[in-house]
A = this chain, B = another copy of it.
Amino acid sequence: MIRQGLLGQLISDLCALPGVGPKSAQRMAFYLLQRDRGGAIRLAETLLSASKKIAYCEQCRTLTEDKLCRLCADKSRDSSMVCVVESPADVWAVEQAATFKGVYFVLHGHLSPLDGIGPEEIGLNLLENRLAAGDVGEIILATNSTVEGEATAHLIAEMAKKYQVKATRIAHGVPMGGELEYIDSGTLSHAFNGRRQV
């Protein structure tokens, strides 16, 4: 009954955010209305312009409000090294590691034939154009190490081979600082198979 009107609407719209339940949505709504209406208005305006203006980078398909994202536009990066990831969040994760100085290609998913997601849906025609143009020297496959991620990586590796482009897969294993005891057995078996002489 009491959750009617604009306040009720605000709480229910805040519940659309991932990880936000009714109780924290209520806390957010009261906080914004009582202490930070400026912040509420700023957030609203950013949400509107982001929803309208942010689209895919023409070259790598990551999210950007420009034609080319900042990474593709950055001339100091090596555009012959293309790291293929499943999502824009993965781009950020790799950037935070700060070791990679090439460019990216974002699939926005992985192959999933049963859901009707084939090569076109994850932008592989666009990636193939870049391979055909001959300016890619190496494709680094950084899709997730799930069944679908592996299948997707495999297909892209086949495609790279067709154009005589080197394809590599990032190493999977025990995370740095990770304790063996807490690693799942799939990862552990992967780590053993991928062992190297020291």
Please give the residue numbers on chain A whose beta carbons come within 8 Å of chain B beta carbons, in ascending order: 1-7, 9-10, 13-14, 16-19, 24, 26-34, 36-37, 39-51, 53-54, 63-66, 70-71, 87-89, 91-92, 95, 108
Contact = CB atoms under 8 A, between A and B. Distances in A.
Given A9-B46, A30-B63, 10 more contacts: A1-B95, A6-B46, A13-B42, A16-B39, A17-B32, A19-B24, A26-B92, A33-B54, A41-B47, A44-B51
Integer count of this chain's copies in the complex: 2
Nearest to A45: B44
A47 B16 contact: no
Contact of A16 (B18, B24, B42, B54): B42
A13 B39 contact: yes
